[in-house]
Each structure stands twice: as C-alpha cells, then as structure tokens.
Structure 1
Amino acid sequence: MREKKHMRILEFPSVHTFNMLVQKLSWITLLLFLYQQGAEAKRTKICERGSAHLSCDLGFIKVIKANYGRTDRTTCASGVPANQLSNTHCFRKTSLHTMSNRCDGSKSCTVPAVNSVFSDPCSGTYKYLDVSYDCIPARRSVICEFTQGVIVCDAGTIFVHHANYGRRDLATCTHKLPTRSHCYSPQTSSLRSRCNGRKSCQLNASNSVYSDPCVGVNKYLEVTYSCK
C-alpha cells in the first residue's frame, strides 16, 4: 500500500492579528528609542576661562570623557586669531582624572576651564573643555572627619561608584569653618576592595586610615554606591 503524503499547510495570521503585531513592534521600537535617548551621555563644551557646570536632576554625576585642549578649529573660535586655532591635536590626558575628582558622585559641580586647574597642554592655543557625563542612580553617604558610619544594602550587595576623603564644597560637615573646598584624595579602589559584595560596610573617616590629604582642613569621607 502506498503511504499517503501529508502536505503541511502554512497558516498566515489574519489581517487583524498582523496589524496588532505591527503595532506592538512599533511600540517596542519607540520605547527602545526613548530609552536610548535617555541613556545618552550629557555633553558640554566650555571655552577657556569659562566654567563648566555639570548637574543631575536624578542620580549622581559620573564623568565619562574629558579633554582640556583643542581638537577642531570651529569650537570657541569666534573672534580668536587663526594661529590660536591651528593646533587641533591638543590633549590633556589627565583631564578625565581631574574632572572625576571634582565631580563624580556629586549632584552638581562647577569646574573652571583654566590652565591653573588642568595645566597648559599647548601654549599659544586657545583651548576649551569638552566633557561627557552620565547621571547614575545611586545612594550617597557622607561621614564627617573623626566619626564612623556604615553603608548598607537591605536588598542586594554594595557596589561603590566613587569615594573621596577630603572636601569638595563649603557646606558639608561644617562643625568648624572650612578653610578651602578643594581637597581631593580618591578612595574608590580602596573602598571597592573593602566593601563591594557585602551587605554592609563600616567606615571610619580618619587620617589614620586614609592619611591627611590637606593638613588643617576639616575633611569628610563621601561614598556613592549602589545595591546590586
């Protein structure tokens, strides 16, 4: 006896079902687009002798890229002589480090685009500060000098984004009048090795732990972290 061959019949969706699928895909595409737009880093360019103002309405600053110098002839070029615009290979490699020290983990910060902050990478060239940064969702803890504190995750474990022992403003931990507001001693690596992956981490804001980055200045330990 011959075996009957069965033909598989392809069933196509109805017009209504097809339209629903298209609509769903359109919404997914739109949501992805909006997410990508929201996830894009903020960018600011400030001409030499101006000041860069970084801020986050939600979350805390994380500097991604920074350069104090010149990489084109058009930015900050109005009224500037051509010979001060010709060097487009002007980079200050420590710009990211400088901006991170001053701004990471803060809600807002102001940094002057001047040689005294970044040093001069190319004398005779009119420079500008080009900064890209994100606003990351995180928690922030501040521990004044001579005191102890603890960072805690009720759910998940600690991941340290940024830490500094020193002073970055004139308003925090003012048990005595601050003498200056620029004292940076990054402690991110140290606190990551000590606290990451734990539910809680006790911290002591003391010169005996971090050494004294600015003698005579009342300091504080600030930590920005997430619960992963």
Structure 2
Amino acid sequence: MGPLHSFMLDLNDPNVEKLFYKDDWEEITSDLPSQALYSEDTEIYMDKFVGVKSVLDLEELLKERPMDPECQVIHYCLDQWLDLYKTTDPSPFSIIHSLGESWWMQNAWGASRKLAHGVPHSFIIPGEKATLDSVDRINKNMAPTDHKRIGPKADLLWRTMIAPEQDWGAAEAACEWDPLGDKYRYESTHKLPRQLHDILVGRTYDVDLTECLRKEFVT
C-alpha cells in the first residue's frame, strides 16, 4: 500500500505555478478530473488577497468579515495565520516541535473543523479518536469481555452522528511537513491508508455490496 497524499492547488494562480518545475507542472495539470468550481463570490473574495505582501496588508483585508459561508471559512483560516505571524515573543515558527501537533492543528488549521458545516448530522472530530471501522476490524475476533475497545487513532475524523454512527474520512496532523521523518513515513504509508481502507470496507457493507465485488473494489 503506497503513500497517500492529498493537495489542493489553485491551478490558475501564477504564484502557485512558480513553485514547481516545468515538467512537474505539466504533469500536475494534465488529465485533470472534473471538479466543482468555487462560487463567484468565493473567487472574488480570494482574488482580494493576491496582492498581499505583508502582515499589515493581510490585517487590513481581514477587518471585514464576509457573509458568504465559503468566504467565512477562508477568512477564519487566514485570521488564524495572521495571529501566528503577529506572535513574536517568541514566534511559534521558532519553537515548532515544542508546541506539538495538536497545538498546530488547532491554531493553524482550525478551519478543518468547519468543513462539515452544512452537512446534516456531520462533524469533524479532532483529537486522537479511533475510526469505528478500524475498531470493529481489530476487535471482531476478541472475546466479549469488558476490555477497552481499541483501534488506531486519527487526529481528525469526518463522522455522521446519527444512529448508526459512521465514519467517512480521516486525517493525520503534524507540526511540519517532513517527508523524510519516521512519523510521516509511518502515517502516510501504513496508518492512514489502513484507516481509510477500513472506512471504505465498512461503507461497502452498508450498501450491501456483494462479497466478490467488495474484494475486487477494496484490494
């Protein structure tokens, strides 16, 4: 099971294109799947930040909170990063690992908790929760005792909180992007793919998929 990565890139932003080698950019932009477009209001709002060159520029643009729900998520995320850049005694970027991944997830990527807003019964749950499907897989062959049900824990879960509760996605957090670190290698090549695989298998049972088709689909 190979590494699993997910990125969101604005392919129309010339500043994003400058970050990649020409060959890499051509590969990224070729054979693209269809995707939902941002609303016109969101596009206009994001364009306001193209010319930002300083903390003061960003602070000025964030003084007015937008009314559009999508724009509010963008505003919330940028406002968190504005706080990070304005904190200087000491700067959180100078003590990255001392603060821990949970701190960074809450203070830098708190907007991730808002991604399920507007989806009925859905919540993004932060903080070392085990996926329900991984718990079921690990515990299904154990005797029915009073032992604590165990399973690999995720840093973020997308869960519908209506009976029966179901998981739809999982994510791992880190203090910084370190593709050579042991944590990154373990979580991206084993832990997270295993959790997502368990979720996928669990949802195939929910729709009563035939066993032969399920095996073909999830292997």
**TM-score interval for Structure 1 and Structure 2 normalised by the shorter chain:** under 0.3
Taking structure 2 as the reference length, the TM-score comes to 0.21
The higher relative CO (CA closer than 8 Å, separation ≥ 6) is in 1
Bigger strand share: 1
Which one has the largest radius of gyration? 1
Taking structure 1 as the reference length, the TM-score comes to 0.20
Bigger helix share: 2
